[in-house]
Amino acid sequence: MNQLESNVLHSFKMVKSDIIMMQDTMTQLSQSQERIMEMLGELRAQETALYNAMKAHKLTTSHPVKRTRKSYVASKTGKSVHTTNCPFGKNIKPKSKVVFATKSKAFNAGYRACDCLKRV
């Protein structure tokens, strides 16, 4: 075997081992990918569980026990008193907002009830 043949043979061996290594790497990659997909699946399951838990939590808290400490808001420049949930009440600028602990305190101050109070 002359030098050239030996070189070529050596190169082929290198290439072959490269290919084998690449195949190994590919196998490892696809195994990693499978693991990642598994983990993704688990994450999705956890996400769904979390989402459902949050939904259940919202469902149970969306109708809370009536708060005992309610307050009523009115505007210094307005004529009506609102619940704190009323859009009109929410619209009152903090500067001109008057807060009452009870409805009657607001009535005594000269305010009339907004529709939001009649609905409650």
Integer Cα distance of 47 and 6 in angstroms: 60
Among 72, 75, 78, 86, binds Zn ion (CB under 5 A): 86
Q: Does 106 bind Zn ion (CB under 5 A)?
A: no
b/e code 44-54 from CB counts within 10 Å (16+ = b): eeeeeeeeeee
Q: Say which residues have a Cβ less than 8 Å from residue 18's Cβ, sequence separation at least 6.
A: none
* CB 49 to Zn ion: min, Å: 40
Tell me if 75 contacts Zn ion by CB under 5 A.
Answer: no
Q: Is 74 in the site for Zn ion (CB under 5 A)?
A: no
Q: Which residues bind Zn ion (CB under 5 A)?
A: 82, 86, 88, 114, 116
